[in-house]
Amino acid sequence: MTLAGRIARHPIGLGTAPLGSSADGPLWWGPQDRGEAVATVSAAIDAGASFIDTAPFYGWGLAEQIVGEAIADRPDSPPVLTKCGIVRTDDDSAADDASPTSIRRGIESSLQNLGRNRIDVVQVHDPDASTPIEDTWEALHAAVDEGLIGGVGLSNHPIELMERALAVGPIAVVQHQSSALSRRAIRSGIVDWCRERGIPFLSWAPLASGFLVDDFDLAELHPDDLRHRLPWAGDRVDVTRRVRATVQRIADDLGTDLTRASIAVAAHGDGVAAIVGSRSIAEAIDLGRPIPELSTEQIAAVDEAVG
């Protein structure tokens, strides 16, 4: 079954950024047990997650390694999507590098981390102002021709760069941040652009990194947890409260919970799916629950709350 077909059947995939939480890595979500992380990926597969989304950036390879361990003996694993184009510098910071040489090196590293000889989809993580998208796209499609990857996608790229990439070769998938709290991908026309071309759109951070989860409590997080620095906890905290209240009312009307209604907002529309990060077996099992269908009026209420 194609990725588009899987999304049409169940528009939820597993996000692994939190599983790659590392105190010495670029993303720190608090402590994460390695064994439970592997079990979480396996539970997500059992629950029917339509895909697994990961990246070298998540713990500098840690999340990919966790996914690789979980799927090693799982021929029923759904498509695995990883990324390229963000590299670790000598001082342990991150830099954009989507040059052909970097792309090739990144693919080889991801193959090793995942324990595979082929990756279903490799996405360019972020735009690289130093490398023409055409050069990046040609390098990725060369890897497709070699059988190293099945398809190529774009993450966080504007329409202008997506148009240029599409002129060189097919786009398998596009992802951007999109949730009840983040509507830019909707309002900028990116989602419509993808839908018009039959390209699956994946919403990352559909739960706003936890701010749209029922039992979320910022005060309970580790003091260094990256979520303390997100706008939903800072200068947009009033918007967070207003949107949570709006989505909660929608959830109550539908007889569901805030988390499920929030995922439904992020996965609203044909060809759209949500990348839902999970850190426990229970959260992974929850990925299998169906999401409610929202009306245009309910989506409009969310947009009004965002302002």
In the prediction, which pLDDT does 140 show? Answer: 98
- Reported as a pLDDT band with limits 50, 70 and 90, residue 28 is confident
List phi, psi (to 5°) of 174.
-130, 140
Helix, strand, coil percentages, rounded to 5, for the chain: 45, 15, 40
Phi-psi domain of 132 (left: phi exceeds 0; alpha: psi -120 through 50; beta: other): beta
Phi-psi domain of 207 (left: phi exceeds 0; alpha: psi -120 through 50; beta: other): alpha
- Reported as a pLDDT band with limits 50, 70 and 90, residue 219 is confident
In the prediction, which pLDDT does 211 show? Answer: 93
- Reported as a pLDDT band with limits 50, 70 and 90, residue 228 is confident
What average pLDDT is seen over the chain? 95
Which tokens go with 234? 């800072």
Find out whether 127 and 96 touch, Cβ atoms under 8 Å. yes
pLDDT tens-digit profile of 43-57? Answer: 999 999 999 999 999
In the prediction, which pLDDT does 205 show? Answer: 96
Q: How many CB atoms lie within 10 A of CB 293?
A: 9
Question: Helix 159-168 and helix 133-146: axis angle, to 10°?
Answer: 40
Percentage of residues of the chain with pLDDT beyond 90? 86
Nearest to 65 by CA among 73, 74, 56: 56
In the prediction, which pLDDT does 232 show? Answer: 79
Nearest to 67 by CA among 212, 210, 277: 277
Residues 6+ apart with CB under 8 A from 98: 84, 85, 124, 127, 128, 131, 133, 136
- Distance CA(214)–CA(149), nearest Å, equals 38
Q: Kindly report the pTM of this predicted structure.
A: 0.96
Residues 6+ apart with CB under 8 A from 153: 81, 121, 122, 123, 124, 171, 172, 173, 174, 175
Q: How large is the average pLDDT for residues 207-233?
A: 88
Active site residues: 58
